[in-house]
Structure 1
């Protein structure tokens, strides 16, 4: 279900820019009737291409204008709505009476249910509020939504309703038709800018959810660029941006207008609503420990409403509604195949891991030469060492004087402080100078570039050595007075000397040259006797994905001139 929700958000990220820009640009036909649908389509394509090209600068760079533009937008639609409301037919205020909903369904029956597929478009945008949390705090979102956004939208719809009471022939373009001629062009300009900003919110949501999928091992490796030093949630993913741009251009050229895109858009939004509510119920049960009666009341009421909307939009499946489901099917297939292969590979490494005893035996073997230098051996395993290590030693017969087995892990928390980023452990005996290191990132943390990463790694390694030596020399007593006076049992100067000697060994290894990176270049193949589907998924689909996406060393920004890859085949 998580993969389905993620896929629908990505589909939303494709459809939102298309429908937002097309609908905004389409308003120019009110003032320039000579423009054809094809002209509007190409203008929209141009705007979409520019929109995606500026993503690399990040919303931190381009977002300074968002607040004033949206403030003007909401002020204009609210003001025009109030103007039309009082000018044409204030009696539409009666529509807030729920009895009219019942009468509407009684009168129109099936057609009323079908119309819900259009009504849901009034709610679009709220399904991406999770992405806003990466840019703003909860309080600011609540205040702006309740004091500016909601009142302005309500006034706008009341105004359009009043206008349509006397101009029912304009129902196909109610928004621009209801705008007074004197403010038409300013309104058009602001509407286009607001549509671009609305598109930006779903593009940012797509980047955010891909970043979190990466942290869960559910998406192929892509480069994540952190675009802001202030906000951890502001990221840019070049590959995803390019795919979204091509998909948006394709949808715009294929559908040409907002009618069928609107049908597709409604399905994506309805699915995201329903899946989000389902996960919220799980949060209420497992984390908030909410009263079960309240959970049942909430679940039944919200699911009834959302499933009503979902069933309505699915009615328009053949009129463009298939598009988000097609996007979801492709995205889910990629995510599932990647996660399936990733898990099989991890299980194989876990079953064939090198134990600490075996590691010490290998490192202590006199036939294995210890050469000067510091090497990082990358492994996904935390409890043990990847089997590629034994394959490497069997072929090279040498180890660096200082060896660190490093695992880079994403934790299910927002961010990991820099001082807690590196977790070291020594592999005994001390003379081997072998360490384990887990590098921990939160799902909103950006991968640190190599030079600052190297500096932090070496500093914290030296700090760990000093602390480890000190702790290992402490006597097993709780009487600190006797400990401090017992020169025979413990010598503080001797401890410092031992620690500094180990630190000097690290410095000497670094002075030999830059750090050497050892990484497995494993090939995962289905074992003999596997089913046809497993062979298809592993041998072809998963391996094709691995070859097509960025390599791990590129994601972690490991310098290629210091990288050594070790090949091995995994039969899973």
Structure 2
């Protein structure tokens, strides 16, 4: 490691604390309160406190430290992570049938994230502002309005980007974790008996004593690890080493100290279960702590909002969502983006959730089912990558998968009972997103197949046009072609109706590769098909935005010079009609037509000068 990198590692680690650990770092606000609130039939009893603390500690160790930081983060695609990346890696060396199963699993995991991201900002911000119940009980009625105001401001600033706000993230979250540690340590010193809960025997004793009830209580314990997927999804921003250093040096010790501090307080003062986090602080610190908690939860919310923007861009580039407007808010960092449609749909959903559930405890009853579902899918996909791509010993992979699922499946099963108390909400949102993604992918494939079923050969057509050319006009015509060796629909219609051809014809294909970035050396591939026909294939990664002007600038450097003011871009515009179908496929067809109507047009999607675009319409039956 160079001296420069050594100097930058602490800065990157600090930044990782600010962005990656916002969600999991704010879970002490509500986790232990929900565990011991009495909903499972037992209250603040010594065995229950020790049992929950032991379960929380060992979940943090086994799930976060061992599973995600040690194993799952090994599965990266050019440094990038996330459930769709894992899906892509898992399907590289498997059969077509198995790949289809893995794709569905990855899409379900991505859909779960959309369902989870609606609850995260709501429960985090409400938990922080609920400190008013302790500091000023007469202001209790203002918790919901204040939560909406804070989140409204958060969603409004998204269009300005997170660059400036991001500079405040790391110091605020570092202060937050230090405060967590200090408050917890202060309480532990007053009652060090609580440290006995580090012994896993207390977790086992908890299951033996409370039997069936203890299983359902896992649904509350899982709140301590919500946000764990962010470790993997944000790997591309910071790298593996800073994320691991941040966890083991700052985040894990702070969380453990705070949870055990809350436990020590409850052993001494059981009535503190009303809000054990805020009651850890002395009276004079309540208002400053509430302000700090609100800032920390806003940062946690910002992290998941940025995450859903990144997931949306990845899904669009991979062809699972319709093209939509994606704005880059930073000239230096490609990961800082803003998706207006997703931002405001998410905002409306979050406000509805806050108004409907009214209290963070009600939201906690709905939280966790999507998180644990994603954890199960991550375990299966990770083991598939280990067996197929890394060529690990099959027995070792089976043992690893068995160990992961022995934790994940009980956690998921315990959360399934939350369906009737609010868990239906993230599941319904996830189902809607899954239907949209599978509909767009399958119906788009059907549409392209219908458009290319004319059966004409590209090579034969070019040879015929060169031998008996129609009227030639000056300039360059660019025809967007979605697939190689296929005659673009727009070219067929131009020849049919206008009966002319430009002096030079370029067939342009923009291809998304199975990688986050494509090196500029491999950006453009040029092939001359005949004296007047050229094929240009421009490759982009799924984290990049195609730009046609950039493509032709690179073509000019390689000998194919095109002046934009002398170039016309021909595109087809499809008017869709639904053919004979069963009723359920007819509904899917109508959904696809709605998505197609509202999709971003190709000139905007590929940044083509609008005054150089000619659209030729056609009617297609799907």
Deviation at 1:569, TM superposition (A): 2.7
Shift of 1:134: 3.3
Equivalent pair of 1:7/1:328 in contact (CA under 8 Å): yes
Shift of 1:34: 0.8
Deviation at 1:306, TM superposition (A): 0.8
Tell me the distance in 2 between the aligned counterparts of 1:55 and 1:198.
14
Structure 1 residue aligned with 2:243: 141
1:30 to 134, 137, 140: 134
Deviations 1:417-447 (A, max 9, x none): 233222211111x2x2x21111211011133
TM-score computed with the length of structure 2 as normaliser = 0.80
Q: CA deviation at 1:310?
A: 0.7
Q: Does 1:305 align with 2:381?
A: no
SS in 2 for 1:135: helix
1:160 to partner: Cα distance: 0.4
Q: Hey, what does 1:218 align to over in structure 2? A: 320
Partner of residue 588 from structure 2, selected from 530, 537, 546: 537
Q: Given that residues 489 and 572 in structure 2 are in contact (C-alpha distance below 8 angstroms), is that contact kept between their aligned partners in structure 1?
A: no
Q: CA deviation at 1:361?
A: 4.1
Deviation at 1:524, TM superposition (A): 4.0
For 1:237-271, what per-residue CA distance to the aligned partner results, in whole angstroms no more than 9, with x for missing partners?
Answer: 11111111111111111111112211222112111
How far apart are the structure 2 equivalents of 1:367 and 1:95? 84
Runs of at least 5 residues in structure 2 that lack an aligned partner in the other structure: 1-104
- What TM-score does the superposition give when structure 1 sets the normalisation length? 0.87
Can you list the C-alpha shifts for 1:503-560, whole angstroms capped at 9, x where unaligned?
6xx56xx38x3431111112344555x444333322x221111012322322222232
* 2:113 matched residue in structure 1: 9
Aligned counterpart, 1:567: 617
Q: Give, in whole Å, the separation in 2 of the partners of 1:172 and 1:555.
A: 52
| 3-state SS, counterpart of residue 543 of structure 2 | coil
Within a 5 Å distance, the mapping from 1:74-93 to structure 2 comes to 74-87=177-190, 89-93=191-195
Are residue 42 (structure 1) and residue 145 (structure 2) matched?
yes
* Structure 2 residue 497 is the aligned partner of structure 1 residue 403: no
Distance 1:142 1:257, change over 3 A: same
Q: Is the CA contact (8 Å cut-off) linking 2:475 and 2:502 kept in structure 1? A: yes
Q: CA deviation at 1:389?
A: 2.1
| Aligned 8 A contact 1:135 1:234 in 2 | no
Q: Could you tell me whether the CA contact under 8 Å between 1:120 and 1:309 is conserved in 2?
A: yes
Distance in 1 between residues matched to 2:311 and 2:619, nearest whole Å:
32
**2:513, 2:316 → 1: CA distance?**
11
Count matched residues. Answer: 518
Map 1:341-420 onto structure 2 (within 5 A): 341-352=443-454, 354-361=456-463, 363-364=465-466, 366=468, 368-420=470-522
Q: Report the secondary structure of 1:36's partner residue.
A: helix
Q: 2:132–2:140: 8 Å Cα contact kept in structure 1?
A: no
8 Å contact kept, 2:510–2:539: yes
Structure 1 Cα separation of the partners of residues 357 and 213 of structure 2 = 24
Whether the aligned pair in 1 keeps the contact of 2:577 and 2:621 (CA below 8 Å) is yes
Secondary structure class of the residue paired with 2:117: helix
Q: Cα distance, 1:386 vs. partner?
A: 2.5
Determine if contact 2:127/2:360 at 8 Å carries over to the other structure.
Answer: yes
Give SS of 1:285's match.
Answer: helix
1:247-286 equivalent positions in 2, closer than 5 A: 247-286=349-388
Alpha carbons 2:112, 2:374 under 8 Å: kept: yes
Q: Which residue of 2 aligns with 1:64?
A: 167
- Distance in 2 between the 1:213 and 1:80 partners? 42
- Give the aligned partner of residue 443 of structure 1: 542
- Relative distance call for 1:409 and 1:51 in structure 2 (3 A) is same
Change (3 A) 1:185 1:536: closer
2:122 alignment partner in structure 1 = 18
**In the alignment, which residue of structure 2 is the partner of 1:498?**
none
2:390 & 2:578 partners in 1: Cα distance? 43
Instruction: Give the structure with higher Rg (CA).
Output: 1
The alpha-carbon deviation at position 120 of structure 1 amounts to 0.4
Q: Contact between 1:82 and 1:155, CA under 8 Å: does it hold in 2?
A: yes
1:73 aligns with 2:176: yes
Structure 2 CA distance, aligned partners of 1:303 and 1:231?
A: 37
Is the Cα contact below 8 Å between 2:265 and 2:272 reproduced in 1?
no
Q: Which residue of 2 aligns with 1:482?
A: none
- Give 1:402 shift: 2.0
**Partner residue, 2:339:** 237
Deviations 1:392-422 (A, max 9, x none): 2101111222221111111110101233222
Deviations 1:131-155 (A, max 9, x none): 3223211111110011000000000
Q: 1:494 maps to what in 2?
A: none
